Amino acid sequence: QQRPLVWGDTLPATLDPHAVFDVPSQFILLNIYDGLYRYQGNPPQLIPWLAERHSVSEDGLTWEITLRDGVNFHDGSPMTAEDVVYSFRRLLAMNRAPAAAFTPVLKAENVSAPDARTVRFVLSTPYAPFLAAMPLVAIVNPRVLTANEKDSDRGAEWLAANSAGSGAYRMDSATYRPRTALDLVRFPEHFRGWADNPKPIDQVRSRPVMETSTRVLALLRGEIDATDSYLPTDQVERVERNARTRVAKDESMRVFILRMNNRKPPFDNKDARLCFAHAFNYPGFNEIILKGLVIRNPGPNPNNLWGNPEGMAPYSFDLAKAREHCDKARAAGAPLGREIEIHVQSELEQTVQAAQMFQADLRRVGVSLKIVPSTWPNITGSTGRPETTPDMWVHWVSAYFIDPENWIGQMYDSRFHGTWKASSWYQNQQVDALLAKARTSLDQSERARLYAEATKLVVADSPDIWVYNTVNLRGLTRRVQGYSFSPVGSGGELRTLSLAD
Amino acid sequence: MTALRHLLRDPVAALGLALVLFAIVVALFAPWLAPYPEDAFESRLLQRLKPPSAEFPFGTDNLGRDILSRVILGTRSAVVVAVSVVLAAMLIGVPVGLWAGWREGWVSETLMRVTDVFLAVPQLILALALGQLMAPGLTTAMVALALTYWPFFARTVHAETRRLRGALFVDALAGIGASTPRILLLHVLPNAAPAILVRATIGMGFTILTAAILGFLGVGAAPPSPDWGLAVAEARQHLPEAWWFPTFPGLAILLLVLGFNLLGDGLRDVADPRLRRGR
Amino acid sequence: MPEILGAAGLTVELGARRRLFGTRPGVRAVDGVDLSVAAGETFGIVGESGCGKTTLARTLLGLQREASGEIRLGGLVVSGQDSATARRQRAAVQYVHQDPGAALDPWWQVGAALAEGLAIHGVTDRAEQRIRIAEMLVAVGLDPALANRYPHELSGGQQRRIGLARILLLRPKVVILDEPTAGLDLSVQAAVLRLLRELRDRFGLTYLFISHDLSVVRRVCDRVAVMYLGRVVEQGRAETLFAAPQHPYTRALLAAAPRLDGAAAGPSLPGDPPSLRAIPAGCRFHPRCAQADAGCARLEPALVETSPGHLTACHHARRAA
Amino acid sequence: MARYILRRILLALPALFGLVLLTFVLTRVIPADPAATLAGDAATPAQLAEIRARYGLDRPLWEQAVTHMRQVLSGDLGSSIFSGRPVMEEIVFRLPATLELTFVALLLATGLGVPLGLLAALNHNGPIDHLARLISVGGLAIASFWLAIMLQLIFAMDLDVLPLRGRIDVALGAPPTVTGFFLVDSLLAGRLDLLVDTLRHLALPAVTLCLPGLASIARFTRSGVLETLQKDFVLYAQAAGYGRVRLAAIYVLRNAVTVTVAQIGLLFGALISGAVAVEAIFDWPGLGTYAVQAILSADYKALLAVTLVVGVVYAVVNVLVDVAQALIDPRVAEQVK
Amino acid sequence: MKPMLSVEGLSVRIGTGRGQARILDEVTLSVPRGGTLGVVGESGCGKSTLLRAILGILPRGTQVPAGAILFEGRDILADRAASARGRIGFIPQDPYLSLNPVFTAGAQILEAMRHHAPGTRRDHKAKLAELFRAVQLPDPEAALDKYPHEFSGGQRQRLLIAAALACDPALVVADEPTTALDVTTQREILALLRQLTAARGLSLLFVTHDFGVLAAVCERVAVLYAGRVAETGLTRAVLDDPRHPYTRMLLGCHPDRAVDLTGIPGTVPAATAQPAGCRFHPRCPLVQPGCAREVPPMLPLAEGHAVACPFHALPLPEPALA
Ligand SMILES: Nc1ncnc2c1ncn2[C@@H]1O[C@H](COP(=O)(O)OP(=O)(O)OP(=O)(O)O)[C@@H](O)[C@H]1O
Ligand SMILES: Nc1ncnc2c1ncn2[C@@H]1O[C@H](COP(=O)(O)OP(=O)(O)OP(=O)(O)O)[C@@H](O)[C@H]1O
Ligand SMILES: [Mg+2]
Ligand SMILES: [Mg+2]
């Protein structure tokens, strides 16, 4: 009997697709659930999934989506427009991470089902990325959920460890162990059918490996068939050299950023920011430390996304220039003499390396940087107010949905101040106006222009330091076939995979 | 002095003493001993992950820094951490133990119950939680370690005080009218000193190790400090290719902790009344 | 001779402890002891191990709190205080421990230990301390150079002398000697006893001499009290008590002492001393007493004068007298 | 004896109460905001406030503490803020994993440490003594995380004789859950293959974890035996003609191990701490990793539950230790009476 | 008739940090069959060491440069295999410390019997219960399963006496078996010992520092001083007419005897600093120039009374007996 596929990527804390939205949760979303739309391919294409088509009213407020026929949930019951309405209302009522994209524009009562195959959304303001955000929402089976409801929690406690989906795989609840083990079995009646994959995998066991070093070793030994998609660049060569394993390298949409708190001196001074921007050793970091397995990204949006200005020149690593800017800033009274704190996520080695390298170079322009190890919840917990937000911090902005709104829109519009994405506290009325307009316009080419405009302004102000766009690196055993990557979900869709003998 | 002679007669304890003294000397003169003393902060990307060679006897790390220099520079923080944590823990634990051991009744009971509470918390988890509580970093780690280690002193001193409180010489002192502080400070404390000393040396070993684990888990020393535990943690990503990267800091931890523990072991034997007794 | 140290109805409870759940009862180690020691005499207390001799001494000294009863010192009642005050009030009474080696802090040179006693009592001048210590060491028959030794570097006899020196420096009036010759060789014992006599004469001391060695007690004591399970069962002048003991326990005790002529005299005492935790009703000696009758098991005999200056607590002794 | 055990248990209760309070205070003053993590991407301040209110995070600290105490007393450890699952459910499967690992490690430590300590004591100041001390102290000095990685590289990668990670082979799957201890469950299920596989998976983590314990057990046994050997009754037994081996292995050892056993109680705390790093590296789905995850994700409910459970286990182990001591040395229970 | 035990010219040395300690020197004494010999001496004179040599449990590091210990005619010092351990019963000094607190009384004694007494465990148990009755332990059957701390000191000493008799010894050696006990208990124990040795025809080697106890138990006595025999003879003869200056002065210190309490000037020499010649000469009032040079030989007097002092006939000067 063939050894099941062992998936070594991280599992989300909860299986409830409406409760979290992070990179690991996409694995659940893509395999156990279906959404109305789905991103596939690279560059990502938004393709109708449970939806057949959509229409939008002239004013951009009313969206109607027609559902595909003959979709069944895992329990065999057919999916109707009411189920979709239930799912959206549940999402909005729970008001957790994946709802964030919708709550500003959509009220629960404004989702309705005029007929069994049509779902109608009436937005409170026009919202261009509406469709782009659709894949975030998993359609759940209300019948299963209401049966398992407790204290009118919409089945939240139950769903955290069970599933109510229609996706290509169903889970085995009995053997599920949170963050440790998830066993999946193929759902042969999936609406897409299995015609495009003659040898689909019947059994998939997800076994996350916590430690990076263990993860790589486990792959090399064949204990797992896939690592996460952030293999340390130093390990790539080794995994490729091994006869049993390979590395899938795919350009993604995930921007590595060093944030600066623009409200805190010295970063309220543009020269100070520019000084920092020129003091980061981009080629050293990208080419030597990361071995060229990343792509220099000059602005907040990933290079491979639309809406970037033509021929944008990235900041160069130029200490002379940096010194010049620093001198100017000092002359203007910016307190560059104080020790500047940079918060890193200590479990993510790359943030630490970048900070250490930066620290060494900044010393040469007379700036002292102090590295503060921290964690994601600690940092995001502190970004609610400018006073508590760190001077600097390091992180990535991943592709949650494919629209500039996901990057520049939510990062540099001052209406998002208080969220971690907008934690540089950048404020520019011109940019705010451009972004607001781009958010509501339904004309793609106009939006592209507006975003390009905004990007130019932002880059000129240098509120943050954008370093690179990620190439996802996933270690795979060679028996894994049919791996297809899309920036949303990082190639975690199992439907297309098969196992060589 | 006789104690020292006793200690040196025991080869294992002598080895411990030698290791500790060596570490202290290295710590004192670290910047002069390290071939590249500035390597605590430099990064030399073109030399990253070089295996040991004449130029870099222990090889270089992921930022191209000389590991030998960093191991030498790291000695200082290891010794400082060990000493200050143990001192801080002593400052809390010894008075608590003395007082609780001397007094009867609810004050003493309460103190010992509080000690039990701290003993029941897994040290590492408390340290991790504290690391989150305050800004993570070496100071936090040190505070956390001191907070988790004092109960051991309290227990040791408590037991010693209880034993000594019943000793005839303490009774005799009370008989000639000595005050409680006098008895505690001038008589009980010195008599408990060997036990405290043994506890302290073992505690130093323990502290270095736990600080290293904290560094490893990312709540200890902050980069770019040449902390040994941190170095092993950073090295994980480069294994098994760059075997030298975790090995030398790991060995440094091993040797210093070994030194402290051997010394403590030897002291235990020397402080043992059985060996001291006899006319 | 006037009384210098006295006790009336002295009772001491040991080991009682308040607990989370109720109190743990203690034991009465001393139970209604009356005592009167005249100035200048040597008063002996004998009895089997565990009968409460040390406890009595510590209570008189103020190191142990009495449960009831009265203690008199130089005509004043000094009982009823907490330990600290009690000890201060009774500075004129000093105590030499059963184990003199263990009564010295092993970390302190004996000179320092002696100086400490002086310092506590207000003599802080180094030079004066040194002079007085040297004098005292000579007085107890030791070389002043021994002041630089540690306790474990001294022999048992020397440790005992240091113990004496330490308290004599405090100029006490009454010295309680707890088994001052226990564990000493014959030759050393003789020297120590001789020294004690000399010191008494020289400093005008009164001794409360605790021992279970009857030969010694007979030799050095003026008056003797015999204790059994926390009570005094017989008391009187040493000559009369040893020559004509009235209490059966005293007789058994005397008979049991090994004699150089190898002769065994008198009845032996069967059984082990009972525990303080289970004190027999009536006369507490009756289960081991050959003369005991039904009355002994019911009624506890009082300590009464059976002949002039001689007290006995025995129903039968009274009848005999 | 029963009274004695009861007393020990009663004595442990106030400590547990204090533990709950202490951990609560600690975890709740951590600045990381669970609400922010929960709300996720682009959460608005209003959204955050709503979540805080829902979890009672906006109440005054003392009020939260009282609520928490009440919940704990009623046996409800609450739900993980992060996963939304009752914390108890996660602990129920993670605790056996940790206990299985620590018990096996403890067994190894005792099984090797006691003979080692005995051997050293019997060769007091001889070469074997020095060697045994060096080995045992060395065990105490090795950083577990470093050793873990080295063992992985040698035994799993180079020699390829032992598995690298996890509790059981993925293809085999866990035995049906009865106790949660795979060793027991696989026996109950009559599956020898699972038993063997579990043991193979236990080998590396247990060895890593046992070393510090082994070292201290060896040390305490050594000094206990040395001390006992000075006792008059040993001399007497020698005079009475006890066999040398029997004298050492039974007559002396039983006295000596009272100290060792007491040590095991203290050691247990250290073992659980050590498990944090070892579990992370060997992917052992136990409480240690759970605690780290809880800390990293600011899931204070989970962290509170873990510390409480560990505290209870610690208390239970210490009661067991007390009982074991009373069984070994009959005077112990006597003293308490 | 050959003596049960004879020690001939036994010397015991031990290396210490401060040089060689000469603990026993040329000790010669013997225990007749069915007889009792007492060994008296002050603390540190080597009494216990003598017993340990006889029992074959000298501490590590001791050397025996000369001498022989003949038990029933065989040298048990040279030939360990001939060591008749089961045949020599031992009663230790401290009943409180000589029993292992964590084993029941029965378990400890049965273990020794397992090695040295014939028969099954059942036989052993029965025999032991019998012995417990003989030593007058209350409730002998139950005593087997009790722990040491459940006995009083006197009972423990009885237990140890029973243990010494468990393997049917021919010789019993006792090391100050009553010093830790009260006088009343001591008297009982001594009476028991006398009775048992007489009834079983045992030989007894009894170490003590108490002349009173000695007088109560032993027919013959050997007085040790600093590792040498100073005087030996019938107990009565030695006590009534001590010849060695040391014996005379020591007895003069006894409270029952002493005219006045004086003690012996000076102290017992440390084992590492034994004086040359007669060990007692630095403290001796009769000291002559030759005493520091030559070791005085044992001079036989009447009835096996012998003394290691050529000047034993001289009277002690007055101050020493003041
Ligand atoms: N803290 C205590 N708790 C309970 N009982 C105690 C305590 N201290 C002493 N005792 C008991 O009190 C009794 C009297 O003890 P004490 O020391 O006064 O006797 P002693 O006559 O001096 O005996 P010895 O001759 O052995 O020195 C003993 O039976 C002892 O066991
Ligand atoms: N291991 C040793 N190292 C050095 N000296 C020793 C050792 N054992 C015994 N001695 C010395 O040997 C001498 C005789 O000791 P032993 O125990 O035989 O005396 P003892 O007559 O039994 O004394 P006590 O009456 O005190 O029991 C003592 O002076 C003692 O200090
Ligand atoms: Mg006493
Ligand atoms: Mg002896």
More confident residue, A352 or D31: A352
Q: How far apart are CA A483 and CA C265, in angstroms?
A: 109
Q: Highest mean pLDDT: which of A192-206, B251-265, D143-157?
A: A192-206
Inter-residue contact A486 to A492 (CB < 8 Å): no
The β-bridge partners of E20 are: E15
- In this structure, the number of other CB atoms found within 10 A of the CB of residue E79 comes to 9
The mean pLDDT of A415-437, rounded to a whole number, is 92
Contact A381 D41 (CB under 8 A): no
A156 contact residues in D (CB cutoff 8 A) = 84
Query: B273 to each of B191, C103, C106, D227, how far by Cα in Å?
Result: 11, 16, 10, 10
pLDDT at E98: 87
B11 contact residues in D (CB cutoff 8 A) = 130
E90 contact residues in D (CB cutoff 8 A) = 236, 239-240
Q: How far apart are CA C163 and CA C179, in angstroms?
A: 13
Inter-residue contact C10 to C32 (CB < 8 Å): yes
Chains that touch C (3 or more CB pairs under 8 A): B, E
Q: How far apart are CA E192 and CA A460, in angstroms?
A: 110
| Residue C55 domain-assigned (yes or no) | yes
Q: Provide the shortest C-alpha distance from residue C132 to chain E (in Å).
A: 25
Count of A–B CB contacts within 8 Å? Answer: 71
The mean-pLDDT minimum among B175-189, C166-180, C220-234, E112-126 falls in: E112-126
Does residue A373 sit at the D interface (CB-CB below 8 Å)? no
The mean pLDDT of D42-51, rounded to a whole number, is 67
Show which of residues 251-290 on chain E sit within 8 Å of chain C, judged by CB atoms: 251, 253-258, 260-264, 267-268
Residues with CB under 5 A from ligand 4 (ion): E 48
Residues with CB under 5 A from ligand 3 (ion): C 54
B224 contact residues in A (CB cutoff 8 A) = 356, 359-360, 371
A94, two tokens:
């729970």
- Is the distance from the beta carbon of residue E268 to the nearest atom of ligand 2 less than 6 Å? no
Does residue B39 sit at the A interface (CB-CB below 8 Å)? no
The mean pLDDT of D39-60, rounded to a whole number, is 68
Contact C260 E212 (CB under 8 A): yes
Q: How far apart are CA A7 and CA A73, in angstroms?
A: 24
pLDDT at C82: 77
The mean pLDDT of C229-233, rounded to a whole number, is 91
**What are the DSSP E strand ranges found in A356-458?**
369-374, 392-397
The mean pLDDT of A384-390, rounded to a whole number, is 89
More confident residue, A143 or E97: A143
CB neighbour list of residue A339: distance below 8 Å, 6 or more residues apart: A368, A369, A370
pLDDT at A299: 92
Does residue D231 sit at the E interface (CB-CB below 8 Å)? yes
Is residue E280 over pLDDT 50?
Answer: yes
Q: How far apart are CA D240 and CA D242, in angstroms?
A: 6
Q: How far apart are CA D133 and CA D116, in angstroms?
A: 9
The mean pLDDT of A304-329, rounded to a whole number, is 92
pLDDT at E320: 47
Half-sphere exposure of D281 (CA within 13 A, CB side): 29
Is residue B277 over pLDDT 50?
Answer: no
The pLDDT tens digits of the residues spanning D181-215 come to: 999 999 999 899 999 999 999 999 999 999 888 88
Contact D266 B236 (CB under 8 A): no
Give nearest CA residue, ligand 1 atom 31. C50
Mean pLDDT of all residues belonging to chain A:
91
Q: What is the CATH number of the domain that holds B253?
A: 1.10.3720.10
pLDDT at A147: 92
Count of helices and strands (H, E) across chain B: 13, 0
Q: Please report, for chain D, the start and end positions of each structural domain, with discontinuous segments joined by +.
A: 1-76+297-337, 87-287
Nearest-atom number in ligand 2 for the CA of E51 is 18
Selection from B207, B179, B209, B2 nearest residue B86 by Cα: B207
pLDDT band at residue D273 under the 50/70/90 scheme = confident
Does residue A441 sit at the B interface (CB-CB below 8 Å)? no
Amino acid, single-letter form, for residue A403: D
Q: Could you list the residue range(s) of the whole structural domain that residue B53 is in?
A: 2-277
CATH fourth-level superfamily of D87-287? MetI-like (1.10.3720.10)
Q: Is C309 exposed, middle or buried (0-12, 13-18, 19+ CB in 10 A)?
A: exposed
Give nearest CA residue, ligand 1 atom 4. C15
Identify which of C102, C106, C170 has the shortest CB distance to residue B176: C170
Q: How far apart are CA A408 and CA A391, in angstroms?
A: 20
Is residue B137 over pLDDT 90?
Answer: no
pLDDT band at residue A475 under the 50/70/90 scheme = very high
Contact E149 D334 (CB under 8 A): yes
- Is the distance from the beta carbon of residue E209 to the nearest atom of ligand 2 less than 6 Å? yes
Q: Do chains A and D touch (3 or more CB pairs under 8 A)?
A: yes
- In this structure, the number of other CB atoms found within 10 A of the CB of residue E308 comes to 24
Is residue D23 over pLDDT 80?
Answer: no
Mean pLDDT of all residues belonging to chain B:
83
Selection from D269, D260, D273 nearest residue D317 by Cα: D269
* A34-62 core/surface letters (b: 16 or more CB in 10 A; e: else): bbbbbbbebebebebbbbeebebeeebbe
Across the beta sheet with C223-228, what order do the strands follow? C93-96, C174-178, C206-211, C42-46, C223-228, C231-237, C310-312, C304-307
Q: How far apart are CA D273 and CA B145, in angstroms?
A: 13
Q: How far apart are CA C264 and CA C257, in angstroms?
A: 9
E108 contact residues in D (CB cutoff 8 A) = 237
- Is the distance from the beta carbon of residue C53 to the nearest atom of ligand 1 less than 6 Å? yes
The dihedral built from the CA positions of residue D296, D300, D306 and D310, taken in this order, carries a sign that is positive
Inter-residue contact C279 to C297 (CB < 8 Å): no
The mean pLDDT of E30-41, rounded to a whole number, is 92
Is residue E83 over pLDDT 60?
Answer: no
Q: Could you list the residue range(s) of the whole structural domain that residue C242 is in?
A: 3-92+175-180+206-320
C167 contact residues in B (CB cutoff 8 A) = 175-176
**Cα-to-centroid distance, E44 and ligand 4 (Å):** 7
Question: Phi and psi of E270, rounded to 5°?
Answer: -70, 150
| Residue C195 domain-assigned (yes or no) | no
The pLDDT tens digits of the residues spanning D59-86 come to: 777 787 788 788 877 878 778 877 888 8
Does residue D49 sit at the A interface (CB-CB below 8 Å)? no
Contact D84 A160 (CB under 8 A): yes
Half-sphere exposure of D293 (CA within 13 A, CB side): 29
Q: How far apart are CA C77 and CA A51, in angstroms?
A: 104
**Cα-to-centroid distance, C209 and ligand 3 (Å):** 12
Mean pLDDT of all residues belonging to chain D:
82
B239 contact residues in A (CB cutoff 8 A) = 213
- Give the DSSP H/E element, type plus range, for residue B78: helix B67-102
Show which of residues 144-163 on chain E sit within 8 Å of chain D, judged by CB atoms: 147, 149, 160, 163
pLDDT at C260: 82
- Is the distance from the beta carbon of residue C45 to the nearest atom of ligand 1 less than 6 Å? no
pLDDT at E206: 94
pLDDT at B275: 43
Q: Provide the shortest C-alpha distance from residue C58 to chain E (in Å).
A: 21
CB neighbour list of residue D187: distance below 8 Å, 6 or more residues apart: D195
pLDDT at E322: 37
* Domains of chain E in sequence order: 5-87+172-307 (3.40.50.300), 96-168 (no CATH)
The mean pLDDT of E45-63, rounded to a whole number, is 87
pLDDT at D144: 85
Query: B269 to each of C313, D44, D128, how far by Cα in Å?
Result: 55, 64, 17
The dihedral built from the CA positions of residue E247, E250, E252 and E255, taken in this order, carries a sign that is negative
The mean pLDDT of A57-61, rounded to a whole number, is 90
A173 contact residues in D (CB cutoff 8 A) = none
In the DSSP assignment, the letter for residue E320 is G
Q: How far apart are CA B72 and CA B68, in angstroms?
A: 6
The β-bridge partners of C307 are: C310
Identify which of E93, E112, E149 has the shortest CB distance to residue D241: E112
Q: How far apart are CA A357 and CA D46, in angstroms?
A: 38
D53, two tokens:
């209110």
CB neighbour list of residue C187: distance below 8 Å, 6 or more residues apart: E42, E249, E250, E253, E263, E264
Amino acid, single-letter form, for residue C143: D
The pLDDT tens digits of the residues spanning C127-142 come to: 999 999 998 888 888 8
Is residue D269 over pLDDT 80?
Answer: no
pLDDT at B127: 74
Question: Phi and psi of C267, rounded to 5°?
Answer: -75, 150
pLDDT band at residue B279 under the 50/70/90 scheme = very low
- Is the distance from the beta carbon of residue E234 to the nearest atom of ligand 2 less than 6 Å? no
Is residue E140 over pLDDT 80?
Answer: yes
Inter-residue contact A59 to A154 (CB < 8 Å): no
First CA to last CA distance, chain D? 10
pLDDT band at residue E321 under the 50/70/90 scheme = very low
Inter-residue contact B157 to B98 (CB < 8 Å): yes
- Chain C, nearest residue to E251 by Cα: C186
Q: What proportion of chain E, given as a percentage, has pLDDT over 70? A: 95
Q: Do chains E and A touch (3 or more CB pairs under 8 A)?
A: no
Contact E236 C185 (CB under 8 A): no
pLDDT band at residue C123 under the 50/70/90 scheme = confident
Interface test with chain D among B230, B261, B262, B268, by most D beta carbons within 10 Å:
B261
- Chain C, nearest residue to E153 by Cα: C272
- Is the distance from the beta carbon of residue E283 to the nearest atom of ligand 2 less than 6 Å? no
Q: Provide the shortest C-alpha distance from residue A144 to chain D (in Å).
A: 18
The β-bridge partners of C206 are: C174
| Residue C98 domain-assigned (yes or no) | no
The mean pLDDT of A410-432, rounded to a whole number, is 91
Identify which of D236, D237, D328 has the shortest CB distance to residue E102: D328
The mean-pLDDT minimum among A43-47, C4-8, C11-15, E255-259 falls in: E255-259
Selection from D257, B274, D241 nearest residue E102 by Cα: D257
The pLDDT tens digits of the residues spanning E183-235 come to: 888 888 888 888 888 998 999 999 998 898 999 889 999 999 999 999 999 99
Give nearest CA residue, ligand 1 atom 3. C15
Q: How far apart are CA D43 and CA D35, in angstroms?
A: 10
pLDDT at A309: 92
Inter-residue contact A357 to A341 (CB < 8 Å): no
Does residue B196 sit at the A interface (CB-CB below 8 Å)? no
Is residue D129 over pLDDT 80?
Answer: yes
pLDDT at B276: 43
Nearest-atom number in ligand 1 for the CA of C227 is 21
pTM: 0.83
Q: How far apart are CA A295 and CA C263, in angstroms?
A: 111
pLDDT at C139: 84
Q: How far apart are CA A128 and CA A104, in angstroms?
A: 13
pLDDT band at residue A56 under the 50/70/90 scheme = very high
Instruction: Give me the number of domains chain B comprises.
Output: 1
pLDDT band at residue B109 under the 50/70/90 scheme = confident
CB neighbour list of residue C3: distance below 8 Å, 6 or more residues apart: C36, C37, C38, C39, C72, C75
